């Protein structure tokens, strides 16, 4: 039995505020010397998308999903009080004022702290997302790999 | 102490995509030889509703809830990009194309794998749902039974 | 190693029904002799707000957030079928009829059972909430304190 405690977070949500919560907990747990994994599934995959559009062959439905979903964290909405996109701007203004790290910086920090960023291959397939559209240096896995980590997890969360 | 690991999922959400996530994890954990329980509470109870309307004596408020809530998984919306019901159809089309199991099949598989499907009696009462309206062969319990399972759980999630 | 099991709930959501679920589980776990903590972060902080407006010096953005967010649990919406505020009233009517405790009573009961009610200081800062606006006798902490509890938790949930 390993001495290192594990924190495993499933990020299902595509909301900016929920992704922030996931990455704040992940960075905290990494600072606590946990082995930390964020398993991005469904709309949570959008947190891993590159900002720029990538040219790829896709069918009609995949193109529609690709266009409707936010490209990268800066386009994500918030779960409450979105007000046609006004909410995220307000939150970001307040964050800047209070020196709270915005989401892209939290993701950078997670990478520096060796948090495992995993993209769920089943939902990538489902939403027509391809590896070229996601950040480099991330891992790819399915539910079996998640469970192998989670069954020994000290902290398991679904966000 | 038993050697069998336990996975306990509270399904609170009535969203099609979140219910899918719950049942995909549950089926994965059952394949991993976990003892798996999905505790359906609040809007998550809708995943256990029979498709057809059942004639029962209900008061006015119970009738209203009954009518407004989706009857069975095929009527559930998705948590993002619902677009007046267009979203779930798109998701289902893409799932078919990629051979991903739709939710009713995931529920069938869970039953075949002996996943414990539990309906929360307190919220059934609250929403005016009666046993006749829910799937056969499910279990009925409250928060105490959930906690008895969860306190020994290897993986506990709230979805 | 302590014999007392721990239940740690992160309440992120500001929805009345999700807050109810959090407090029902917390009260159940406390009755089960768990050491229970609810860590209120982001919109979940609204569950701890006093009903009456408190006069405080705030800047423009803090005032806007303060006004837009519900002041106390009785102003919170529900996560599904909100119908312009009609939903929460219906739920409360049904709860009364079925003798289900409304949220303020669930919170009182949690306090009586010594559930630790914690407000996340980082998001208080972010949303411009001050201690004077929140309930008395609660605790204040950050993500490090949450993780110290959660890494030994028997039941950890994100709601």
Is residue C127 within 8 A of residue C65, CB to CB? The reply is: yes
Other beta carbons within 10 angstroms of residue C83's beta carbon come to 13
Residues B42 and B71: beta-carbon distance below 8 Å: no
Secondary structure element (H or E) that encloses residue A62, with its range? helix A60-68
Stretch C130-156: mean pLDDT, rounded?
A: 96
pLDDT over threshold 60, residue B1 = no
The answer to whether the Cβ–Cβ distance between C146 and A24 falls below 8 Å is no
The residue whose two tokens read 């809830």 is: B65
* Residue B84 in tokens: 């007046």
Q: Do C157 and B153 touch (CB under 8 A)?
A: no
Residues of C in contact with A24 (CB under 8 A): 122, 143
Residues 6+ apart with CB under 8 A from C150: A154, A155, C8, C156
Measure B99 CA to nearest chain C CA, in Å.
Answer: 30
Beta-bridged to residue B68, according to DSSP, are none
Record: contact A68-B81, CB cut-off 8 A: yes
pLDDT at B10: 98
Verify whether the Cβ–Cβ distance A61 to B94 is below 8 Å.
Answer: yes
Residue C45 tokens read as: 């902080």
Task: Answer for the pair C154, C5: CB distance below 8 angstroms, yes or no.
Answer: yes
pLDDT tens-digit map of A8-44: 999 999 999 999 999 999 999 999 999 999 999 999 9
Instruction: Please tell me the predicted confidence (pLDDT) of residue A72.
Output: 79
- Mean predicted confidence (pLDDT) in C75-84: 69
What local confidence, expressed as pLDDT, does residue A105 receive?
92
Instruction: From residue A28, give the alpha-carbon distance in Å to each of A21, A62, C86.
Output: 11, 36, 40
Contact status, residue C16 vs residue C106, Cβ threshold 8 Å: no
For C127, the closest chain A residue by CA position comes to A94
Yes or no: say if C32 and B147 are a contact pair by the CB < 8 Å rule: yes
pLDDT above 80 for B3: no
Per-residue pLDDT band for C138 (boundaries 50, 70, 90) equals very high
A141 in contact with chain C, both atoms CB, cutoff 8 A: no
CATH of domain C6-158: 3.40.1260.10
pLDDT (0 to 100) of residue C1? 46
Partner-chain contact A29 C128, CB within 8 Å? no
* A18, A97, A154 member nearest C151 (Cβ): A154
**Sign of the four-CA dihedral A159, B6, B12, B18:** positive
What ranges do the domains of chain A cover?
Answer: 6-158
Per-residue model confidence (pLDDT) at position B28: 96
Nearest CA in chain B to C18: B12
- CB neighbours of B2 closer than 8 A, spacing ≥ 6? none
Question: What tokens were used for A145?
Answer: 């790999």
Question: Cα separations (Å) of B71 from B52, B127, B139?
Answer: 7, 13, 19
Report the share of chain C in percent with pLDDT over 90.
60
Provide the Cα torsion B78, B79, B81, B87; round to 10°: 0
Task: For residue A1, give every residue at least 6 positions away whose Cβ sits within 8 Å of its Cβ, in sequence order, or none.
Answer: none
**Residue pointed to by tokens 């004022």:** A97
**B71 close to B51: Cβ distance less than 8 angstroms:** yes
Q: pLDDT at residue A1 above 50?
A: no
* C99-106 contacts at long range (C-beta below 8 A, 24 or more positions apart): C100/B122, C100/B125, C100/B126, C103/C16, C103/C19, C103/C20, C103/C23, C103/C47, C103/C73, C103/C74, C103/C76, C104/C73, C104/C74, C106/C20, C106/C23, C106/C24, C106/C27
pLDDT of B51 higher than 70? yes
Compute the distance between CA of residue B78 and CA of residue B85 in angstroms, rounded to an integer. Answer: 8
Other beta carbons less than 10 A from residue A52's beta carbon: 8
Q: Is the pLDDT confidence value at A115 over 90?
A: yes
The per-residue pLDDT for range A127-144, each reduced to its tens digit, is: 889 999 999 999 999 999
Residue in chain A lying closest to C10 (CA):
A157
For residue C84, name the pLDDT band (cuts at 50, 70, 90).
low
B36: number of CA atoms within 13 Å, CB side?
28
- What's the ipTM? 0.88
Number of CB atoms found within 10 A of residue A86's CB = 11
Q: What is the pLDDT of residue A81?
A: 60
Residue positions counted in chain B:
159
Show the DSSP H helices in chain B as ranges: 16-31, 60-68, 86-97, 103-112, 121-127, 143-150
Cα–Cα nearest to A118, from A46, A39, A45, A50: A39
Whether the pLDDT of residue C152 is over 50: the answer is yes
Q: What is the pLDDT of residues A48-101, one digit of tens each?
A: 998 877 777 777 767 767 777 787 777 787 776 665 566 677 777 777 777 788
What pLDDT is recorded for position A52?
76
A76 to A44, B15, C18: CA distances (angstroms): 10, 20, 23
User: Residue A9 contacts by C-beta under 8 Å, 6 or more apart in sequence?
Assistant: A22, A25, A26, A36, A37, A38, A39, A156, A157, A158, A159
Output the CA angle B125-B129-B132, nearest 5 degrees.
125
pLDDT score, position C83: 56
- Model pLDDT for residues B75-128, shown as the tens digit of each residue: 787 777 665 566 677 777 777 777 778 899 999 999 999 999 999 999 998 888
Residue B154: pLDDT above 90? yes
Q: Does B80 touch chain A (CB under 8 A)?
A: yes
Structure confidence at residue A108 (pLDDT)? 95
CA-nearest of C18, C41, C14 to C143 is C41
Distances (CA, A) of C1 to A78, B151, C5, C103: 40, 16, 10, 34
Bigger pLDDT: C74 vs B42? B42
Q: What is the per-residue pLDDT across C15-30, written as a single tens digit (0 to 9) for each?
A: 999 999 999 999 999 9
């Amino acid at each position: 039995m390993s001495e290192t405690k594990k924190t495993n977070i499933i990020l299902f949500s595509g909301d900016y505020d929920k992704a922030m919560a996931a990455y704040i907990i992940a960075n905290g747990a990494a600072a606590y010397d946990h082995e930390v994994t964020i398993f991005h599934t469904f709309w949570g995959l959008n947190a891993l998308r590159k900002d720029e559009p990538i040219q790829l062959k896709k069918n009609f439905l995949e193109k529609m999903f690709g266009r409707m979903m936010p490209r990268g964290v800066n386009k994500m909405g918030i779960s409450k009080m979105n007000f046609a996109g006004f909410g995220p701007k307000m939150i970001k203004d307040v964050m800047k004022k209070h020196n709270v790290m915005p989401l892209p910086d939290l993701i950078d920090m997670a990478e520096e702290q060796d948090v495992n960023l995993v993209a769920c291959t089943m939902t990538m397939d489902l939403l027509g997302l391809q590896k070229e559209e996601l950040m480099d240096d991330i891992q790819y896995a399915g539910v079996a790999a998640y469970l192998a980590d989670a069954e020994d997890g000290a902290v398991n969360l679904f966000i």
